[in-house]
Amino acid sequence: SHAFPQLEELIFIYDQGFRRAQQFRVDTKVGESMPLRRLPMRCMRKLVYHATPIEMARTFSLLELPSTTSVLLTFVDDDRTREPQDILFNMFLGVDLANEEAIPAPANAPGPEENVAIDPSLPWQILKEALRAHFSNINDQHFNTITLDGRDLCASADDGDNTNTGIPSYFYMKVPHRGPDSVKDILCDLPVFLDSPSLIVKPTYMAPYNGLPIFNADEMDRIFLLFSGIEELTLYREAVEHFLKRYKHVGPKPAFPNLTSIRICDVDLAQNVDDPEQTRLMMNDLYCALVEPGRVSEWLEYVVFECCTINEVDVERLRRGIETKLKVEGAELNLVKCRIVADDMYTVEYEEDV
């Protein structure tokens, strides 16, 4: 444990060029030969690790990091998961933590001639155990915001919030595609993530995303269920449609009973010349979800549209509904950098201070 006792920052990025380098194969199991948090790195402030899933998970499980360490974990999602590039991992493994003498590889480590296939679920089992251990001493603290951008999950804390002194500024992970509960599985029911009061969902413009499919409808429905206790919700583009599906699936009871603020970004909600009903139907659904009885929350107070295109008549209808039908006194609608389409299809730039 004395190899790098004062190390404060570790950045390891596995590049495809390493494919031709010497391959290091070791035991992929985390058991008696590789206990969790085996290597104390108690001065670490930042860890960035990008490699194959198995190496990324095993290396994170090996390190005993402070809970305040800012972490970024991503992986190469291709056939190299069958051939772990354990360069840094083996450097750590070659140090005996009791007396710093070299130790042999585990007896059941595969030899260089073997073509070892790795169970696709193994990295995530290891990572889940490591996450539980990493945040095991966090009590009644949580990240302020969870952002889902493509398949990237970033949990972030407000640097000015003195109540969350035991968590880092951010904890960033790439989410594997593991079925409808992919996000729930990777977060392993940890309150430090799931009690976050704010959720931001940004579907990527492109698919597949870095070799992975974007979140599908089933995944999004489970994500909204998982974070149904949030107070603030920000939705970009296609996420609005998934939000409306969740609202209809749950109704008539509130889908987000604690929600006080919703921000809708980068969506065209004006009538489409080719299919006038398409976007108008979405706007009608949004009106019902935000205003009418059975709405997503009885505590909704702030509704913001940002960088959206909206029909003028719909803006006025929504504003009247928010001012007269919502229960919270002073509930308001704000438009930020939006384009308003008048009856004659003339668009104007419209912006309010928030």
User: Is residue 10 predicted with pLDDT exceeding 60?
Assistant: yes
Question: From CA 134, how far away is CA 69, in angstroms rounded?
Answer: 10
Instruction: Give the H or E element holding residue 235.
Output: strand 232-236
Buried b (16+ CB within 10 A) or exposed e, 300-336: bbbbbbbebbbbbebbeebeebbeeebeeeebebbbb
Mean pLDDT value of segment 145-149: 95
pLDDT at position 160 is 64
Task: Give the three-class secondary structure for 202.
Answer: strand
* 275-321 pLDDT per residue, tens: 665 667 788 999 999 999 999 999 999 999 999 999 999 999 999 99
Which range, of 34-38, 195-199, 258-262, averages the lowest pLDDT?
34-38
Query: Rounded to two decimals, what is the model's pTM?
Result: 0.81
User: Is residue 110 predicted with pLDDT exceeding 90?
Assistant: no
pLDDT at position 195 is 95
User: Is residue 80 predicted with pLDDT exceeding 80?
Assistant: no
pLDDT at position 69 is 95
pLDDT at position 164 is 65
Task: Give the three-class secondary structure for 347.
Answer: strand
Residue tagged 């499980």 (tokens): 61
Which residues lie closer than 8 Å to 146 by C-beta, 6 or more apart? 153, 154, 155, 193, 196, 198, 199, 200, 227
Q: Could you tell me which residue, 88 or 325, shows the higher pLDDT?
A: 325
User: Is residue 90 predicted with pLDDT exceeding 90?
Assistant: no
pLDDT at position 82 is 39
- Tokens in use for 188? 């392993």
Structural contact between residues 36 and 30, judged by C-beta atoms closer than 8 angstroms = yes
User: Is residue 31 predicted with pLDDT exceeding 50?
Assistant: no
Mean pLDDT value of segment 317-334: 93
Question: From CA 63, how far away is CA 137, in angstroms rounded?
Answer: 16
Task: Give the three-class secondary structure for 234.
Answer: strand
pLDDT at position 2 is 53
Apex CA 263: angle with CA 262 and CA 267, to 5°?
Answer: 130
Which range, of 133-137, 139-143, 162-166, averages the lowest pLDDT?
162-166
Residue 304's DSSP bridge partners are 263, 334
pLDDT at position 272 is 63
User: Is residue 236 predicted with pLDDT exceeding 90?
Assistant: yes
User: Is residue 227 predicted with pLDDT exceeding 90?
Assistant: yes
Structural contact between residues 55 and 85, judged by C-beta atoms closer than 8 angstroms = yes
Residue tagged 């296939």 (tokens): 117
User: Is residue 66 predicted with pLDDT exceeding 60?
Assistant: yes
Q: Could you tell me which residue, 133 or 2, shows the higher pLDDT?
A: 133
pLDDT at position 72 is 96
Amino acid at the residue 124: W
Other C-beta atoms lying within 10 Å of the C-beta of residue 136:
12
Mean pLDDT value of segment 335-341: 94
Structural contact between residues 277 and 348, judged by C-beta atoms closer than 8 angstroms = no
Question: From CA 275, how far away is CA 295, in angstroms rounded?
Answer: 27
Mean pLDDT value of segment 335-352: 68
Q: Taking all residues of the chain, what is their mean pLDDT, rounded to a whole number?
A: 79
User: Is residue 323 predicted with pLDDT exceeding 50?
Assistant: yes
Instruction: With both helix axes pointing from N to C terminus, report the angle between 276-290 and 239-250 in degrees, rounded to the nearest 10.
Output: 50
Residue 305's DSSP bridge partners are 264, 335
User: Is residue 174 predicted with pLDDT exceeding 80?
Assistant: yes
pLDDT at position 281 is 79
Q: Is the dihedral of CA 322, 324, 329, 330 positive or negative?
A: positive
* 258-284 pLDDT per residue, tens: 999 999 999 999 866 566 656 677 889
pLDDT band per the 50, 70, 90 thresholds, residue 38: confident
Structural contact between residues 339 and 314, judged by C-beta atoms closer than 8 angstroms = no
